Structure 1
Amino acid sequence: MPPLFRSDAFKVTAYFVAVILLGALLAPQLHAAAQWALDRGVFDSGPLASVKDSVERAKITRFFNRAVMISALLLAWPFIKWIGLKRGGNWLLLRKNPLRFGHFGLGFGIAAGTLLLLGAVYVGIGWYRMNDEAKPLYRMILSSIGPALSVAFLEEFLFRGVLLALILRTLRPFPALLFLSSFFAVVHFLKPPEHLDLPPIQWDTGFWLLTKIFGQLGNVDFLLAELVLLFCVGWVLGWARLKTASLWLPIGLHSGWVFGVKLFSAATRKVAAIDDMLPFAGPHLRVGFNSVIVVCLCGVILWVLLRKRYPQSAFAPFSESNPMADKKPAS
């Protein structure tokens, strides 16, 4: 077998392609399963009742996003076996974090707080307005916190946990983070555009969505506004993981950003035309250079708060044989 096909880079790329294709195949099946559950009243009572409205409103594009996440989880173990990781040892290059809950709360508070503050500015200047038909605040919070936590735990384990550890086997921390942040941005850009005229749902609808996803590459303003933001998000999350040698701070940041986006989307409605806001803002808080500034501000705040407790550079080299000995917090 040629050396290229034995490399970690090839295996990571193959894993990514397999996740996307399996997600496209699973999306119509998830949609059908959700409709079956709605018809039989599965969401009418009990703990699932709080998500009934979201399931009823969800289009196939939403199921595509969830199908990709499920595919990433389903294929994670076969991928780990294929990559040839040995049992035992600290192959994730993480250490136990006695400050895990504090790091999680710090990340969540900074991320959600700064993003919602940006949203308040948008409401103040008239780009958005408050939603008169919004659910009570506590219901919006409950419906936002669940997806925020699930997405953050899954993606941080996958990207800043497994994939970053694999890349660090062949690259030093700085180029490894550069590669992973770019990869993270591209993966998250691959989502269906909004306001599609959807065809009847069939087994191949997920692959039809893939053609629409790649068709977005022609919109330069949207491409730059979202890709730059996603890269910065990936960079700050990866830096936090390298700085603390733990996933708890990036999990807090990630869940805070997702929570802020979902809560703001539920509580407001867009007023200004998208073309008038791009590239500074967009149809939601996930798009725009203003959001880039907020994400970078979060990184600066964390750098200031952590520099004394973690004086070692986030990009200092380390190895599995010396698992994060130089990443311990200063006493």
Structure 2
Amino acid sequence: MRSGQQSDVLKIFAYVAGTLILGAFLAPWLYQAGKGLAEVFAGKEGNKAIEWLADAARRSDFPRFFNRAVMLSAIILIFPLLSWLRLGRPPGSFRDTPWSLPLPDHAVVTDRGQPLHRNPHGWVQFGTGFFLAAGLLLFSGWVMVQSGCFVWRDMTHSTRGVRMPTSLLETIEWGKAVKKALPAALVIGLIEETLFRGVLFGIFLRAMRPAPAIAILSFLFAFVHFLEPPAGVVIADPEASGAGFVMLGKIFARFGDPMPMVSSFLVLSAVGVVLAYSRYRTASLWLPVGLHFGWVFGEKIFKAATWVVPGLPREVHWFVGETLKEGLLPFSVVAVTGILVHAMTRAREPIAGYRS
């Protein structure tokens, strides 16, 4: 990006920052509204939709309301963002604007960055991505069970002989788990890939070369997913006007702890790199959607079928976390997946009629 020029990339980061600030401001108000609705409709029968909403609010804690406030803020601010992205852009070729930088000759470079193209092998790439991501991830989960880091929910002892509490013993309902995980994973894959690799990656490629575009977008992807409230976090006064900013402070405090940074943020960044690279190599969303679908599906199935074994030494958590999204072992699985993605795809040739 040229010095002194507003870039679409900086506008995206400003949008993320604005979303967090607005979400933190709205969170306590949303919490009070939700709990008030729950009290009003407690034990009453009426409109099914309102009754469902009141029940959900009754069962939710402040971190959940914080998440919903951030999501609401993202929706509210998306409209001014879309308008802002068009500010100062004169009609005509994007090549003639100060946001344009030359990309490598081998890349598909146009005035629109790298456009998405019709993919005749889309369904094959989608299926291959799904089975590749889910298969490798679940295989790594099986390895973790065999090593004693996780235990099947219907087993009384781990492979290392650690006895599990009887209260955790339950039958694994594989059919129910698959039925629940499939649609959720597919929806997450479609929405996030359309946003991150479909829209944002195209914007990033307008401003910079593919390598930094992939790196920065992957950092943003990991950052957004890393903003989950820490497990078990408690806000003393969730109705206070500054409660959302207290929560935001606790979330950002995780960035100062090397354990979650290595075990979680590193894995999320690697996932973002593989997804963006697969989109760049194929100029379509079929493969990244399939990969994302497979990773989310595999993680949900494994979570529904296992418990993490308690009392593991702290050093083990550098390699294996509490889910398949944490630790150096899942990172290595993502890295292997990326190598296979590189092997099964090829860089697209420049399209005739487009300038590079």
Task: Please give the range of the TM-score, normalised by the shorter of the 2 chains.
Answer: 0.7 to 0.9
Q: In the alignment, is the contact (CA less than 8 A) between 2:201 and 2:214 conserved in 1?
A: yes
Question: Within 5 A, what are the aligned runs for 1:127-146?
Answer: 127-131=149-153, 132-133=169-170, 136-146=173-183
Aligned length: 312
CA distance in structure 1 between the aligned counterparts of 2:131 and 2:58, rounded to whole angstroms: 30
Match of 2:131 in 1: 109
State whether structure 2 residue 354 is matched by structure 1 residue 322.
yes
From 294, 297, 301, give the equivalent of 2:336.
Answer: 297
Task: Report the Cα distance in structure 1 between the residues aligned to 2:126 and 2:31, rounded to whole angstroms.
Answer: 31
Counterpart Cα distance in 1 of 2:37 and 2:268: 35
Residue 319 (structure 2) pairs with residue 312 (structure 1):
no
Structure number with larger C-alpha Rg:
2
> SS of the counterpart of 1:285?
coil
Is 1:126 aligned to 2:161, yes or no?
Answer: no
Query: Could you say what secondary structure the match of 2:24 adopts?
Result: helix
Listed one character per residue, the Cα deviations across residues 218-258 of structure 1 (whole Å, up to 9, x for unaligned) are 21122122222111111100011011111121111112111
What SS does the corresponding residue of 1:169 show, helix, strand or coil? Answer: helix
Relative distance call for 1:6 and 1:296 in structure 2 (3 A) is same
Out of 131-140 and 198-207, give the one that drifted further. 198-207
Out of 200-209 and 227-236, give the one that drifted further: 200-209
TM-score, reference length from structure 1: 0.79
Of 119-128 and 24-33, deviating more is 24-33
Residue 115 of structure 1, CA deviation: 0.9
RMSD: 3.7
Give per-residue Cα distances to partners, 1:136-171, cap 9 Å, x unaligned: 222222322233222222221221111111111121
Q: What stretches of structure 2 of length at least 5 have no aligned partner?
A: 93-110, 154-168
Are the aligned partners of 1:173 and 1:317 in contact in 2 as well (CA < 8 Å)? Answer: no
Aligned mates of 1:90, 1:42 — CA distance in 2: 51
Give 1:227's aligned amino acid. F
Change (3 A) 1:165 1:317: farther
* Structure (1 or 2) with the greater helix fraction: 1
Residue 285 of structure 2 aligns to which amino acid in structure 1? L
Q: Does 1:239 align with 2:261?
A: no
- Secondary structure (helix, strand or coil) at the match of 1:129 reads strand
Distance in 1 (CA, whole Å) between partners of 2:46 and 2:341 is: 43
2:84 is matched with which residue: 82, 85, 91? 82
CA drift of 1:208 comes to 2.4
Post-superposition offset of 1:127: 0.9
Determine if the alignment matches structure 1 residue 267 to structure 2 residue 316: no
8 Å CA contact retained: 2:9, 2:207: no
Partner of 2:105: none
Q: Distance in 2 between matches of 1:116 and 1:34?
A: 39
Q: Does the aligned pair in 1 maintain the 2:34–2:58 contact within 8 Å?
A: no
1:179 aligns with 2:211: no
Contact residue 320 and residue 329 of structure 2 kept, 8 A: yes
Deviations 1:16-44, CA, capped at 9 Å, x for gaps: 11222233345563896599589678999
- Tell me by how many angstroms 1:15 deviates: 0.8
The equivalent of 2:115 in structure 1 is: 93
CA distance in 2, matches of 1:317, 1:151: 31
Which 5+ residue runs of structure 1 have no aligned equivalent?
A: 327-331
Q: d(CA) in 1 for partners of 2:124 and 2:282?
A: 12
Q: One-letter code of the match for 1:195?
A: G
Letter in 1 for 2:354: N
Contact 1:134 1:266 in 2 (8 A): no
Q: How big is each residue's C-alpha offset from its partner over 1:200-231, in whole Å with a ceiling of 9 and x where there is no partner?
A: 54365433221111111221122122222111
1:146-157 pair list within 5 angstroms? 146-157=183-194
Q: 252, 263, 266: which is aligned to 2:290? A: 252
TM-score (norm 2): 0.74
Match of 1:216 in 2: 254
Identity among equivalent pairs (%): 37
AA in 2 matched with 1:252: G
The DSSP-based 3-state class of the residue aligned with 1:296 is: helix
Tell me if the contact between 2:255 and 2:261 (Cα under 8 Å) persists in the aligned partners.
yes
Q: Contact 2:31 / 2:238 at 8 angstroms: preserved in 1? A: no
**CA separation of 1:96 and 1:206: change in aligned 2, threshold 3 A:** farther
